[in-house]
Amino acid sequence: MEKLAIFREYDIRGIYGEDLVRENVVRIGYLIGQELRKKGGATLGVGFDARTHSREIFKWFCDGVLASGVTPYNLGEIPTPVGYFALYCEFEGGLHLDGSVMITGSHNPPQYNGFKITLLKEPFFGEAIYALEKDFYALDFDVVTQKIPENSNIKTLNVLEMYVAFMCKEFSHLKGFKIPISIDCGNGIAGVGITKILEHLKIGYEGLFLEPDGNFPNHHPDPSEEENLRFLHKKVQQTKGIGFAFDGDGDRLAVVKYTPNENKVYKGDELAIIFAYKIPNPVVIGEVKCSLNMYESIDKIGTSIMYKTGHSNLKVKLKETNAHMAFEVSGHIFFNDRYFGFDDATYAALRVLELVYEEGMGFDKVLEKLPSLYSTDEIKIPTTENEKFAIVERLKEVLKNPNTLPINFPRIVDIVSIDGVRVIFEEGWGLIRASNTTPVLVTRFEAKSQQSCVLYQKVLLELLEHIKE
């Protein structure tokens, strides 16, 4: 079998009809079932997003799970966080699920799909996925097909109803709260949960693209891209309130607040600061792309921890440290305070509404006291899957040896290498890391002056180009 590029750091993901065909999906389902059995598990909840091919992939995947001897349960068309939530539920007859798998392409284009896997409440990622990849190619598919039952009646569990009930109880104090709210679901799956919760709480809202549609006819469901927020910006300007944008599978959030001249969009590290100031002695995890302001301001009132990018990495670190929260710049937000420690955009949106309920539209005043910093958005540099990590390793070696650096290279104060290389200069920092999901290098730069930010970007990108040659 030709090698496939579907086994990624955080999940398994590919193109329907090319990488994700019946044989490959059945293999994956079988191997995931085997992995669960090795851990002593026997029940697996399987949910899916609104993509046009998700239901077919669900059937193929469950065939593989059944062949492994594990019992799959249909969680239905739900956001990814609802699949995580299912692991904390007790269903009829005292049933507890041992694992969950979400069939989703997340924020990728419509032709993509994939699997986000959680076994015994632990994310299945990294080395575990790469080990599964080896088993994938060694597996005798004929043996698997012989184990698939001829008639399989997969029971449905209404976890979405339980999730909505939980949220309505947790945020019952917001009932009837009146504030102009706008929601953009981008025709992803988040609308099936957040709308029910707001309606039950009698909180009015203006909705944009709430209906799930796997073709995403209005805009791409990735709220980290400013272009995809244009409709929400317009709505928030009209209502003079607050807006929430969700990604395709409902685990990432963008928050937009009305201001007279230009709406304010909060990145994940800014929300981290706001929430940290509401918790006594907070312990907060950020990733390597987070702002210096986030780490310095949280360290004044508690403890910040810098860690690797990636939702699976942060979930594991959150559990290991028992921190209150974790944040990614891109909008993955993890609450271990009053919640279960997984990334859930709906829950995060309700926590933001709670802040507005308690403090009004000035809930973000703490940000006004922060030093002014100049930063770039993520700058992505195309490369190849085979080269991206090797380039970063070569860059690390060069940076560790000052004699190899160009004359007049800015003084390096420190180098953080937990995920790529974050170079700390006297006035700011620059980051270059290999993406774990696409064949690109991800860069970001920040400094106390625009001049320094431009300089750090220039010298590091020039050094990178020299190394690539």
Among 157, 191, 207, which residue terminates a domain? Answer: 157
The residues near 40 (Cβ < 8 Å, ≥ 6 apart) are 98, 120
Contact, 104 vs 116, CB < 8 A? yes
359 shares its domain with 435: no
Q: Is 107 a catalytic residue?
A: no
| CATH at 253 | 3.40.120.10
List, for residues 314-349, the tens digit of each pLDDT value: 999 999 999 999 999 999 999 999 999 999 999 999
d(CA 391, CA 414): 20
Q: Is 224 a catalytic residue?
A: no
61 shares its domain with 112: yes
To 5 degrees, how large is the angle CA 253–CA 182–CA 54? 50
Q: Is 106 a catalytic residue?
A: yes
253 shares its domain with 141: no
219 shares its domain with 129: no
Among 369, 394, 422, which residue terminates a domain? Answer: 369
Pick from 197, 268, 189: which is nearest to 221 by CA?
Answer: 189
8, 13, 351, 433: which is the annotated catalytic residue? 13
75 shares its domain with 150: yes
- Domain extent, residue 55, equals 12-157
304 shares its domain with 418: no
27, 219, 332, 444: which is the annotated catalytic residue? 332
DSSP string of 64-90?
Answer: HHHHHTPEEEEEEE--HHHHHHGGG--
pLDDT of residue 243: 98
To 5 degrees, how large is the angle CA 363–CA 332–CA 323? 75
Average pLDDT over residues 64-87: 98
Residue at 136 is within a domain? yes
pLDDT value at 189 more than 80:
yes
pLDDT of residue 469: 67
- Domain count of the fold of the chain: 3
State the amino acid at position 451 in one-letter form.
Q
Contact, 70 vs 42, CB < 8 A? yes
List, for residues 421-445, the tens digit of each pLDDT value: 999 999 999 999 998 878 899 999 9
121 shares its domain with 187: no
pLDDT value at 249 more than 80:
yes
54, 68, 100, 106: which is the annotated catalytic residue? 106
404 shares its domain with 383: yes
189 shares its domain with 310: yes
135 shares its domain with 168: no
Residue at 294 is within a domain? yes
pLDDT of residue 402: 82
DSSP string of 273-336?
Answer: HHHHTTSSS-EEEEETTS-HHHHHHHHHHSEEEEE-SSHHHHHHHHHHHT-SEEE-TTSBEEE-
d(CA 290, CA 272): 10
